[in-house]
Chains A and B, each alone.
Chain A
Amino acid sequence: MAAVAETTTTVRPERRRPSFGRVVAWTVMIAIVLITLVPFYWILRTALSSNPGLNAQPADPLPVDLTLGGFERALGLQSAEEAVAQGGAGGGLKFWRYLLNSVLVSTLITACQIFFSAMAAYAFARLRWRGRDTVFALFLAGLMVPTIFTLLPNFVLIKELGLVDNLLGIALPTMFMTPFAVFFLRQFFMNIPKEVEEAALLDGAGKVRIFFRVLLPMASTPVMTLAVLTYITSWNDYFWPLMVSYSDSSRVLTVALAIFRAQTPQSGIDWSGLMAATLIAALPMIVLFGFFARRIVSSISFTGLK
């Protein structure tokens, strides 16, 4: 559409198109891209440098004394003496354990939350039952309650359930639904034409079957978008896992990373190790996003808006 508009204007004898304003606009756009991306490069550059090298040449655009030492420390591959010698902390970091914990928690939350929310969304959008609008209004009101508010009482509850320091305890509060997910999917189900359902009913399919075989597959794009966003959100969550987990057995990457940061000596922070750990913690989401980027970016229009 825009491309068409562009060509028509250039065909016309309107010579102001590559104007001053456009140059400024592109300059701003490039500046935005740089501000966005340079920190990513800086993480990589620092992670591949050695700590003494960073001290000597803080502004060198390339890695100083190219080394994988930072990554080895972050992954817990170095012995304590070796780590201290290279400017790191001696404390061991069970990186793979935290990674596994993050994967387990995020997968559990995403799979269950999306599935249960989709079921509820279907019931709100396509089934007819008494009190439907009232119950939905109640769910919507839940959207207004800020997460911080429920965190303390939820912690008390999880403690009473004996699930503190347990992966299930981290997942449980968001595992069944979020008002947002229900709202988001309901919106999609509402827009599917009635004929679709009727055609399947004629074929003798029950409503349960219609949901699983017709409507859910049709919703694959919004479900995918929501799933990736939910995965990113639960992967990046820090406050709740920090409250609930106390030991390595349930520690997720975000919490481990904050601890790694707190451990490094205040005088002479292990920047190389810290940036390596940072990169490793962020990498899975970058890869995930890489796979789904186009879809997400084009269907994010759904998110949060009516």
Chain B
Amino acid sequence: MTVASSSPPSRLPLGAAEAVAPVKKAKSRPGGDGALAALFIAPAMLGFLVFLLWPTLRGIWLSFTDFNLLTPAEWVGLDNYVRMVNDPIFWNSLWVTVEYVVLNIGVQTVAALAIAVLLQRLTQSSVLRGIVLAPYLMSNVVAGIVWLWILDTQLGIGNEIIAGLGADRIPFLADETWAIPTIAMINVWRHVGYTALLLFAGLMAIPNDMYEAAKVDGAGEWRMFWRITMPLLRPVLAVVLIMTVIGSFQVFDTVAVTTDGGPANATNVLQLYIYDSAFGRFQFGYASAMSVALLVVLSAITILQYRLTRAGQTDLG
């Protein structure tokens, strides 16, 4: 879109522009937009202060209190944290969450990378890109229910195929060892297309003549992948990885719909336990303390990841 089509048509002759220029200069004195900026930023600022900054501070404060929503919060110092450290269910939740994240991120990253590279090197069809993104349109709730059906032990098509191949039916979501990997795969299915598109965008920034030059030198696809694609994609991959790790630590919907934490706490991820403590048992203080723990874990991971992957630096320049 050009300027002319969206702004009032310029009626000034070319020379006049220079004549008017000094007037404009005088108008924009240093810091001159202050009042207007305040006006423009006011709604977002309100949202930021009320629904982001204030809740963050309040959440930290609540974690030091005994609070059940009905009576005023009562300061209890580190009690919630002491309880947390001694709570086997908390540690179990944290462990289950980590197990989920490792599986989810591991498979998702490799699959997304494969899809992105295939999209880049094989075809650049936007229809294919659209198809890959399709599961992202479903909510986690919908995706959870659909896979619950597909993997149903008795009637699910997944198990029908397994049985048809002569193997034993697998109780994917009802078995302690299978439940977490299954939930991780359901979420990979839903999110991998989105991640692949982000990586694909990164791949598009790699100049095509690099591949051409490599081809002239006799390099095969595999070699080009390790010598060109991977090094140049690294900064984008690092950012995407940080985003997806943070996202997958917050798993809740899929678990709530498919297993609801069972069997025997095998899928009781941290978020579910936090939710249950707050709304199932009205222990808001304790739930807040666990949220703080999650925040600390996430911050640590983010900083560590950022350092390790040198996300801020690029190999291109």
Q: Is the CB of B54 within 8 A of A157?
A: yes
Contact of B137 with A by CB under 8 A: yes
Q: Mark B223-260, 1 if CB is under 8 A from A, else 0.
A: 00000000000001001100100100110110011000
Q: Which one of A65-73, A82-90, A93-101, A192-200 is at the interface? A: A192-200
Q: Is the CB of B142 within 8 A of A176?
A: no
Among A122, A177, A239, the residue within 8 A (CB) of B252 is A239
Which A residues touch B141, using CB under 8 A? 236, 238, 254, 257-258, 281
Q: A293-B130, A297-B126, A297-B133 are in contact. Are A144 and B299 (CB under 8 A)?
A: yes
Contact of A11 with B by CB under 8 A: no
Which residue among B51, B211, B257 has the maximum number of chain A CB atoms within 10 Å of its CB? B51
Q: Mark B199-223, 1 if CB is under 8 A from A, else 0.
A: 0111010001001100100001100
Q: Is the CB of A150 within 8 A of B56?
A: yes
Contact of A92 with B by CB under 8 A: no
Q: Mark A143-177, 1 if CB is under 8 A from B, else 0.
A: 01111111011111101000000000000111111
Contact of A135 with B by CB under 8 A: yes
Chain B contact residues, majority secondary structure = helix
A229-271, CB < 8 A from B: 232, 235-239, 242-243, 254, 257-258, 261, 269, 271
Give the bracket for the number of chain B residues in contact with chain A: 35 or more
Q: Which one of B39-47, B83-91, B101-109, B176-184 is at the interface? A: B39-47
Q: A149-B56, A257-B142 are in contact. Are A58 and B155 (CB under 8 A)?
A: yes
Q: Is the CB of A37 within 8 A of B288?
A: no
Q: Is the CB of A177 within 8 A of B146?
A: no
Q: Is the CB of B138 within 8 A of A285?
A: yes
Q: A33-B131, A120-B45, A271-B149 are in contact. Are A278 and B62 (CB under 8 A)?
A: no
Closest residue on chain B to residue A238 by CB atoms: B253
Contact of A54 with B by CB under 8 A: yes
A242 to B56, CA, bound (A): 20
A296 to B139, CA, bound (A): 18
Q: Is the CB of B139 within 8 A of A236?
A: yes
Among B1, B131, B148, B236, the residue within 8 A (CB) of A218 is B1
Which B residues touch A188, using CB under 8 A? none
Q: Mark A188-220, 1 if CB is under 8 A from B, else 0.
A: 000000001011111101011011011001101
Interface residues of B (CB under 8 A from A): 1, 3, 6-8, 10-12, 17, 20-21, 24, 28, 30-34, 36-38, 40-41, 43-48, 50-56, 58-59, 62, 69, 114-115, 118, 121-124, 126, 128-142, 145-150, 152, 154-157, 160-161, 164, 189, 193-194, 197-198, 200-202, 204, 208, 211-212, 215, 220-221, 236, 239-240, 243, 246, 249-250, 252-253, 256-257, 271, 274-275, 278-279, 284, 287-288, 291-292, 294-295, 298-299, 302
Q: Given A152-B62, A157-B50, 18 other A-B contacts at CB below 8 A? A: A59-B164, A112-B43, A120-B41, A127-B36, A128-B37, A135-B45, A144-B299, A146-B249, A146-B250, A146-B295, A150-B56, A156-B58, A174-B51, A199-B3, A236-B142, A237-B139, A239-B252, A289-B130
